[in-house]
């Protein structure tokens, strides 16, 4: 049996084969990987945000804070455990994120009366009861019977309770302000707007950064 020599593939044909392989590798495979990652990340996020998802209602802001708290904490854990950033700036970011998470939790759980009580002492509960205005309403009146709440707290105890509630509002307002300072971050690194200052500035960006600024919380 006589074998005839095969004709070599032309260079154009080989180039076309390589183009098809590249298209398949970088387009189709990348799309498949992207779809797989999206599906995987979707179910991961459902698990991470499950409590926030179940607590969201369209008439309260609590779940908004919960979503922010959980997402910041998730980023914090990843940067702390797997971050590639140098420690001098990474550790400061981790600390600021942890503090933001703590404040968000305090606001969401409304812990400020407890904080105030730890400073000033516990509030006095006393005994309360409802007292009717019946004697003040005419028997012929069509109005429903009205009631007022009475208690047996002394004036000193009432003043103490007022001081505790006032202090709780002060602490809460202070933490709200602190939270937004952490999220907004510090002023731009010297030299970004004026290049002449950049060479004269002694600190590096890593040294200058205090870890605040949600826009810098990535890795």
Alpha-carbon distance 83 to 80, whole Å?
6
Indicate yes or no: pTM above 0.85.
Answer: no
| CA–CA dist 179, 105 (Å, integer) | 11
Q: Could you report the per-residue pLDDT of 21-55, keeping only the tens digit for each?
A: 777 777 777 788 888 889 999 999 999 999 999 99
Q: What is the pLDDT of residues 102-124, one digit of tens each?
A: 999 999 999 999 999 999 999 99
Q: Which of 11-20, 29-38, 99-108, 167-176 has the lowest mean pLDDT?
A: 11-20
Q: How confident is the model at residue 193 (pLDDT cuts 50, 70, 90)?
A: low
Distance CA 209, CA 199 (A): 17
User: Helices (DSSP H) in 56-86: which residue ranges?
Assistant: 62-82
Question: What is each CA distance from 200 to 189, 191, 195, 196, 197, in whole angstroms?
Answer: 12, 9, 9, 7, 5
Q: What's the confidence (pLDDT) of residue 208? A: 80
Least confident of 89-93, 122-126, 149-153: 149-153
Cα separation values, 150 from 76, 91, 147, Å:
49, 54, 10
State how far the Cα of 182 lies from the Cα of 97, in Å rounded to an integer.
Answer: 8
Q: Is 161's pLDDT higher than 80?
A: yes
* Sequence ranges of the domains in the chain: 13-48
């Amino acid at each position: 049996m006589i074998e005839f020599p095969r004709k070599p593939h032309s260079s154009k044909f080989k180039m076309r084969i390589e183009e098809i392989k590249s298209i398949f590798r970088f387009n189709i495979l990348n799309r498949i990987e992207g779809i797989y990652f999206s599906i995987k990340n979707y179910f991961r996020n459902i698990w991470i945000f499950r409590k926030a998802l179940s607590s969201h209602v369209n008439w309260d802001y609590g779940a908004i804070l919960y979503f922010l708290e959980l997402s910041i904490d998730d980023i914090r854990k990843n940067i702390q455990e797997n971050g590639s950033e140098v420690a001098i700036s990474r550790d400061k970011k981790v600390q600021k994120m942890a503090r933001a998470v703590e404040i968000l939790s305090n606001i969401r759980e409304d812990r400020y009366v407890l904080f105030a009580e730890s400073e000033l002492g516990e509030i006095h509960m006393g005994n309360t009861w409802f007292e009717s205005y019946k004697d003040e309403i005419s028997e012929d009146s069509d109005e429903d019977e009205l009631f007022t709440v009475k208690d047996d707290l002394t004036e000193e105890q009432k003043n103490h309770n007022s001081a505790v509630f006032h202090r709780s509002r002060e602490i809460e307002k202070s933490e709200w302000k602190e939270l937004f300072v952490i999220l907004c971050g510090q002023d731009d690194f010297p030299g970004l707007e004026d290049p002449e200052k950049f060479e004269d500035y002694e600190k590096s960006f890593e040294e200058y950064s205090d870890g605040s600024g949600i826009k810098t919380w990535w890795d």
